[in-house]
Amino acid sequence: MIGEYITSNTEIVESALTQSLPPAWQIPLPLRESMNYSLMAGGKRLRPILVLAAAESLGGTKEAALPVACAIEMVHTYSLIHDDLPAMDNDDYRRGKLTNHKVYGEAMAILAGDALLTHAFYSISQAHKVHGIPAERVLAITEELSAYAGARGMVGGQAADMLGEQGITKLEELEYIHSHKTSDLIVFSLRAGAHIAGASHAQLQALSQFGHAIGLAFQIQDDILDIIGDEAKLGKPVKSDEKQQKVTYPYFIGMEASEKKVRELTSQGKEALLQANLVHPERLLQLADYLMKRDH
Amino acid sequence: MIGEYITSNTEIVESALTQSLPPAWQIPLPLRESMNYSLMAGGKRLRPILVLAAAESLGGTKEAALPVACAIEMVHTYSLIHDDLPAMDNDDYRRGKLTNHKVYGEAMAILAGDALLTHAFYSISQAHKVHGIPAERVLAITEELSAYAGARGMVGGQAADMLGEQGITKLEELEYIHSHKTSDLIVFSLRAGAHIAGASHAQLQALSQFGHAIGLAFQIQDDILDIIGDEAKLGKPVKSDEKQQKVTYPYFIGMEASEKKVRELTSQGKEALLQANLVHPERLLQLADYLMKRDH
């Protein structure tokens, strides 16, 4: 049931993404190909689906939320392109495909990432221009993206991750990285969808709590899967984090306690969500369960 | 006279820039230091001064235009940090100081650029939040920045520059690169300042023409100075472009014709500006002359 919801929304998102880049005649062709290669390289499309589900949970429409859904996927994609660069994680493969810089070269990969990040803000502005969402709300989404994806958010988490690679000794440090590298964009996705539908301050707060909890659960589940998963399912070598001597959640508290933590966080998140008086909380609740139980 | 205007506005911009980054306790310290190092590394502050002058030309205030002025300097700075990377131009020095990656390492330089670009959009949103500029106008600035600085604008110009490094054979190709690498952000700066002051569509059009002309003149003057200038004034080795076998404007049409082109473009730009019915066009006209005559 939630599986069907995810499948149909994935199709809607991917179809919108193929239309989301500027037309080919306006851009040097290799730059556009490099942007498109990573944007259309698959992935769970989790963040855009959360945008749509959050908008619908408040009675908003998918259509009006789609420009923001595309924007968050552009931001997520740019962060992966830059993370994979030789100077960062130096990965040759992602989701079983060559990474951007292995195909287009480092310089083009840097520029494709820059262009995707910049274009995300353009995409958001179309929620006002094309779909008539009030400028106040769309500007709030812009402001929140720049906070959650920037130095105080995702980029800050990435910097902390990089700085701590050899020396993370406390669980709190790992949680700081997880919460900024992963939860911040999930919180943003939920809040952005809610803004599209005109959420109240209290509803935004509840969605933030829900997002922070399921974001951390998602990342711990990722740590767990990275250890027990098999290569075919993940599309990357198992224990790649261990090989690079990265510290994961199970490293600190063990597998069993990590699995328990995922369940606890999910249930805390769902409780917070139920305080929000949403007209349709069902899909968000089901998505939280789905993320907890996923095996890939 | 225009010298004093530039000096006093440079001080105002630099003072605003020192306050423009998120507080240190919200960000991993090395990331903030890396962002701040390049943001405060000097430079002409031309783009932010154009934002202020454009706002004032329409009767707007400097104060309300400052968040946007800071934003454009963040975007300009991020583009320099990424351009200097080993995979791009591989420069060790800029304005006589070590480039960002030589001080903080490549990974941090990539992230500092990403964070500055992202934070520029946050800064713009403050024009509404702090200074009460209507959300419609501020959202228009956001949309235009994402267009002029993205794949269709500055990043596209940078990509074309990189792709053409060995093979530019036509003046039109060089003009494409110049117009997107340089003019686009100058056009944006003028339009953004004008939006702050509530410009009409016709005024925005006239400012775009002015910006495109003086932007190209600025870049041709740069090409000229790069050949005749001396190292001390420029803060970088003379003929660095020639050394990398980059093609410049004088390469195609000679020095004398290039100097004439700078004068012609400047006068065309000024004519376009005079069609805009600005209440105070003087500073913009003086800035155009100043840029044409500058020797550094």
pLDDT tier for residue A242 given thresholds of 50, 70 and 90? very low
Q: What is the pLDDT of residues A188-211, one digit of tens each?
A: 999 999 999 999 999 999 999 999
CA dihedral B225, B228, B232, B237 (to 10 degrees): 90
CB crowding B151-184: b at 16 or more within 10 Å, else e: bbbbbbbbbbbbbbeeebeeeebbbbbbbbbbbb
- How far apart, in whole angstroms, are the C-alpha atoms of residue A124 and residue A138? 7
| pLDDT tens per residue, range A164-175 | 876 788 899 999
Note the pLDDT tens digit of each residue in B102-138: 999 999 999 999 999 999 999 999 999 999 999 999 9
User: Which ipTM did the prediction report?
Assistant: 0.94
Give A 145-204 residues with CB within 8 A of chain B: 145-147, 149-152, 155-156, 158-160, 162-163
Q: d(Cα B291, Cα B296) in Å, to the nearest integer?
A: 9
The whole-number average pLDDT for the span A217-225 is: 92
Q: Contact at 8 Å (CB) between A180 and A210?
A: no
Question: Could you give the C-alpha distances from B147 to A26, B125, B141, B153, B163, in angstroms and in order?
Answer: 11, 17, 10, 6, 21
Share of chain B above pLDDT 70, in %: 93
Residues of A in contact with B87 (CB under 8 A): 105-107, 110
What are the C-alpha distances in Å from B236 to residues A241, A276, A291, B239? 42, 58, 53, 9
Interface of A with B in 93-112 (CB under 8 A): 105-108, 110-111
The answer to whether residue B166 scores a pLDDT higher than 70 is: no
Contact call for residues A180 and A157 (beta carbons, < 8 A): yes
- Say which residue, A295 or B157, is predicted with more confidence: B157
Tokens of B55: 């706002």
| Range with the poorest average pLDDT among A113-117, B236-240, B274-278 | B236-240
pLDDT at residue A8 greater than cutoff 70: yes
Average pLDDT, chain A: 93
**Is residue B292 over pLDDT 60?**
yes
Shortest distance between the Cα of A155 and any Cα of chain B, in A, equals 6
> How far apart (Å, rounded) are the C-alpha atoms in residues A174 and A168?
7
pLDDT digits (tens, 9 = 90+) for B21-58: 999 999 999 999 999 999 999 889 999 999 999 999 99
A237 — pLDDT class (breaks 50, 70, 90): low
**Do A45 and A61 touch, CB atoms closer than 8 A?**
no
Domain ranges for chain A, please list them.
Answer: 2-293
Q: Which of B76, B121, B124 to mutate to test the interface with A (most CBs of A within 10 A)?
A: B121
Q: Which two tokens stand for residue B223?
A: 């090409």
Mutation site, B90, B102, B114, interface A, largest A CB count within 10 A? B114
B240 pLDDT above the threshold of 60: no
Give residue A286's Cα distance to chain centre.
18
Find the mean pLDDT for residues B182-188. 96
Q: Find where tokens 């941090």 sit.
A: B108
Q: How many CB pairs under 8 A join A and B?
A: 168
Residues 6 or more apart whose Cβ sits within 8 Å of residue A35? A21, A112, A115, A116, A119, B151
pLDDT computed for residue A240 by the predictor:
53
Choose among B21, B107, B117: nearest Cβ to A87. Answer: B107
Task: Retrieve residue B50's tokens.
Answer: 């154009």
Mean pLDDT of all residues in A271-293: 95
What pLDDT, in 10s, does the model give residues A49-89? Answer: 999 999 999 999 999 999 999 999 999 999 999 999 999 99
pLDDT for B242: 47
Q: Between B296 and B161, where is the model more confident?
A: B161
In terms of C-beta distances under 8 Å and separation of at least 24 residues, what long-range contacts does A32-35 make, across chains too? A32/B151, A33/A104, A34/A100, A34/A103, A34/A104, A34/A108, A34/A109, A34/A111, A34/A112, A35/A112, A35/A115, A35/A116, A35/A119, A35/B151
Contacts of B91 in chain A (CB under 8 A): none
Model confidence over A137-146: pLDDT tens digits? 999 999 999 9
Q: Are B82 and B113 in contact (CB under 8 A)?
A: yes
Domain A2-293 in CATH 1.10.600.10? The answer is: yes
Per-residue pLDDT for A39 more than 50? yes
Q: What number is the average pLDDT over the span A226-233? A: 64
